[in-house]
A = this chain, B = another copy of it.
Amino acid sequence: MSQLAEQKFISDQDQIEKLDPQAVETLLEKLPGWKVVSVEGVNRLERTYQFDDFEDALDFVNEVGEIAEEVNHHPVIEFTWGTATVTWWTHFIDGLHKNDFIMAARSDQVFQD
């Protein structure tokens, strides 16, 4: 997982194509806790994290915000007291790219730190 987090995020949109289902499955195996959810036909990568209180959840949200800003790729985050759900996908391909798995792995690193 940490290896995935350290891989290069691809910013050049011309290089970004949707992953095929087999590639999604292979990458997903490297990310325990994450699942692929389909929303209006678009696959998204989603994980819910648990926290001791609201403040811890909000701190995590801010740290995920930081790693998102670093690469200008932004998740949807839903959070409340004790829980935060992070969802990554790549809007302009309406689906999942390896970038999303890299960002999921980086979110896990933030959670573990």
0/1 per residue, A80-98, Cβ < 8 Å to B?
Answer: 1100000000000000000
Per assembly, the copies of the chain total 2
* Interface 0/1 of A59-88, CB less than 8 Å to B: 001100100110000111111110000000
B81 touches A74 (CB 8 A): yes
Task: Answer whether residue A55 sits at the interface, using C-beta atoms and an 8 A cutoff.
Answer: yes
Interface residues of A (CB under 8 A from B): 54-55, 58, 61-62, 65, 68-69, 74-81
Q: 21 A-B pairs, CB-CB below 8 angstroms? A: A54-B65, A54-B68, A54-B69, A54-B74, A55-B69, A58-B61, A58-B62, A58-B65, A61-B61, A62-B62, A74-B80, A74-B81, A75-B80, A76-B78, A76-B79, A76-B80, A77-B78, A77-B79, A77-B80, A78-B78, A78-B79
